[in-house]
Amino acid sequence: MFSRAVRPTVSLARSLSTSSQNNAKVAVLGASGGIGQPLSLLLKNSPLVSHLSLYDIAHTPGVAADLSHIETRAQVTGHMGPDQLDAALQGCDVVVIPAGVPRKPGMTRDDLFNTNATIVATLADACARNCPEAMICVIANPVNSTIPITSEVMKKHGVYNPNRVFGVTTLDIVRANTFVAELKGLDPARVNVPVIGGHAGKTIIPLISQCTPKAKAGAGSATLSMAYAGARFTFSVLDAMNGKEGVVECAYVRSEETECKYFSTPLLLGKNGIEKNLGLGKLSAFEEKLVADAMDELKGSIKKGEDFAAKMK
Ligand SMILES: NC(=O)c1ccc[n+]([C@@H]2O[C@H](COP(=O)([O-])OP(=O)(O)OC[C@H]3O[C@@H](n4cnc5c(N)ncnc54)[C@H](O)[C@@H]3O)[C@@H](O)[C@H]2O)c1
């Protein structure tokens, strides 16, 4: 019987060393950036990936050439500029999107909306046309709005599958695991703190009451730890697609679990993306209040994304 409190069975280290084989084509859109480059490095190092397709508006020929010299089997192709976007996406099984501008000190994730909404909408449109069945993992902020935008764009093309569109919130889980482990003197690899809600400010809700093992309770934008988190999430998606059972990750997805249309909770992943939403579980009174307090902001961010998508041609 599956336990929702169990840490995802796939650790990055295991994915890097496993001898299991897969033939997945994975695209990274925004591959030349602070997250895109180390994320692509981690993906190139994995036997789960047979073709790594790197797209950006700058520098992809160099990044692709550099990574292609690594002695792992994934074939690396570089694609630069809008003319090469379709080719980058054809036949993709998984698309990871770290494209867009990151926060600078003093900015909120929502300050990125105007620039990143257009970037994500353009990339989602290309996914809908070229690889409508791919798992789409959006890292670009504000995730609370870029997932509704991605969903609406896919709907416009008639190819929306809510089980295959993910807002990557794994960094929140990775951070929570690390902080709790530091505080309690535990091995971080053994800690699992589910983080629900969204991916901005007070919408990020770590569930310390559901932490295993039991525990009581910056400036700018992360790149290396986000690359790790993005790779961990992608490997979990790939492992589940390969038939591995019991793979669980939290992600921000279309949801019926609360009154918010999109909400992050632990998800059981399978061959076709989300197999089962494992829901919020039993919350403490404190956590219930955090969820209630997050609702208005989350709904506002979702509406903002949907309104943006509705106005697009
Ligand atoms: N989900 C999370 O937990 C999380 C964590 C950290 C950062 N982020 C977000 O990830 C995004 C990227 O951050 P970064 O530090 O790598 O930024 P960066 O500026 O270093 O890299 C962004 C890359 O995107 C590329 N790009 C811009 N427009 C593009 C387009 N139209 N098509 C393709 N590529 C395009 C740029 O050329 C650049 O290489 C930001 O939106 C940031 O807020 C999310």
The per-residue pLDDT for range 202-237, each reduced to its tens digit, is: 999 999 999 998 875 444 689 999 999 999 999 999
Residue 58 near ligand 1, beta carbon < 6 Å:
yes
Give 17's pLDDT tier (boundaries 50, 70, 90).
Answer: very low
Read off the pLDDT of each residue in 59-86 and give the average, rounded to a whole number: 97
Helix (H, G, I), strand (E, B) or coil at 259: coil
**For position 160, which CATH number holds?**
3.40.50.720
Residue 274 lies in a domain: yes
Nearest atom (ligand 1) to Cα of 99: 24
Judge if 133 and 30 occupy the same domain: yes
| Domain identity same for 175 and 160 | no
Does a structural domain hold residue 1?
Answer: no
**23 is annotated as contributing to ligand binding:** no
Report yes or no on 190 lying in a domain.
Answer: yes
User: Higher-confidence residue: 229 or 2?
Assistant: 229
For residues 178 and 145, membership in a common domain is answered with no
Q: How many domains does the chain have?
A: 2
DSSP secondary structure string for all residues of 90-126 = TT-SEEEE--SPPP-TT--GGGGHHHHHHHHHHHHHH
Residue 285 CA to ligand 1 center (angstroms) comes to 36
Q: What is the CATH number of the domain that holds 202?
A: 3.90.110.10
Average pLDDT rounded to a whole number, residues 37-63: 97
Digit-coded pLDDT (tens) for 132-179: 999 999 999 999 999 999 999 999 999 999 999 999 999 999 999 999
Do 27 and 158 have their domain in common? Answer: yes
- Domain for residue 3, yes or no? no
Angle in degrees, CA 227, 229, 230, rounded to 5:
65
Q: How many residues does the chain have?
A: 313
Query: Which of 168, 199, 220 represents a domain boundary (last residue)?
Result: 168
| Residue 27 within any structural domain of the chain | yes
Predicted local confidence at residue 12, as pLDDT:
56
> Do 23 and 120 have their domain in common?
yes
Residue that is last in its domain, among 168, 183, 210: 168
Residues 151 and 175 in one domain: no
Are 213 and 245 members of one domain? yes
Residues 210 and 146 in one domain: no
Q: Are residues 114 and 232 in the same domain?
A: no
Query: What is residue 7's predicted lDDT score, i.e. its pLDDT?
Result: 52
Q: Is 103 in the pocket of ligand 1 (CB under 6 A)?
A: yes
Does residue 313 belong to any structural domain of this protein?
no
44 and 89 in a single domain? The answer is yes
Would the CB of 221 count as within 6 Å of ligand 1? yes
CA dihedral 169, 171, 175, 177 (to 10 degrees): 70
Q: How confident is the model at residue 22 (pLDDT cuts 50, 70, 90)?
A: confident
Q: For residue 85, what are the domain limits?
A: 12-168
d(CA 94, CA 39): 14
Substitution site in 101, 115, 144, 234 for ligand 1 pocket (most atoms within 8 Å of beta carbon): 101
Q: Flag whether 54 is in a domain.
A: yes
**CA gap 13, 28 in Å, rounded:** 20
Q: In this predicted structure, what is the pLDDT of residue 196?
A: 98
CB 279 within 8 A of CB 197: no
Domain co-membership, 17 together with 164:
yes
Catalytic residue numbers read: 199
| Domain finish residue from 111, 142, 168 | 168
**How remote is the CA of residue 41 from the centroid of ligand 1, in Å?**
16
pLDDT above 90: residue 10? no
Note whether 190 and 277 are same-domain residues. Answer: yes
What per-residue confidence (pLDDT) applies to 220? 66
CA distance 146 to 154: 12
| Domain membership flag for residue 4 | no
With a 6 A CB cut-off, is 57 part of the ligand 1 pocket?
yes
The model's pLDDT over 171-203, given as tens digits with 9 standing for 90+, comes to 999 999 999 999 999 999 999 999 999 999 999
- Token look-up 């997250």 returns 35
Distance 221 CA to ligand 1 centre (A): 10
Closest ligand 1 atom to 139 CA = 1
